[in-house]
Amino acid sequence: MTRKDYQLIADVLSKHIAHWDRAKEVMSEDRLKKQAAASAMTVRDIAWSFAGELGDTNPRFDRQRFLEACGAA
């Protein structure tokens, strides 16, 4: 994979994390805020899984940089 591929993955995950973080802020019901927070955490967990797997396939892959690009660091 190329840096462009890694950036594409990070961009997609970042958009989802940002969406759920914004949703969490604007929700009025506690139940909905909790659901949005759980969704954001799920996407962050997925980002961490990607970071681990991608790092295992490429020794030059920078996990921390990827997580920061995802908004999951």
Q: Quick one: pLDDT at residue 68?
A: 96
Give how many domains the chain has, as a whole number: 1
Q: Quick one: pLDDT at residue 27?
A: 83
Contacts for 11 with CB less than 8 Å, ≥ 6 apart = 69
Q: Quick one: pLDDT at residue 28?
A: 82
Which residues of the chain register pLDDT less than 70? none
Q: Quick one: pLDDT at residue 30?
A: 87
Q: How far is CA 5 from CA 24, 62, 66, in A?
A: 29, 14, 11
Q: Quick one: pLDDT at residue 25?
A: 85
Distance CA 18, CA 42 (A): 12
Tell me which residue range forms the domain holding 26. 3-70
Distance CA 14, CA 28 (A): 24
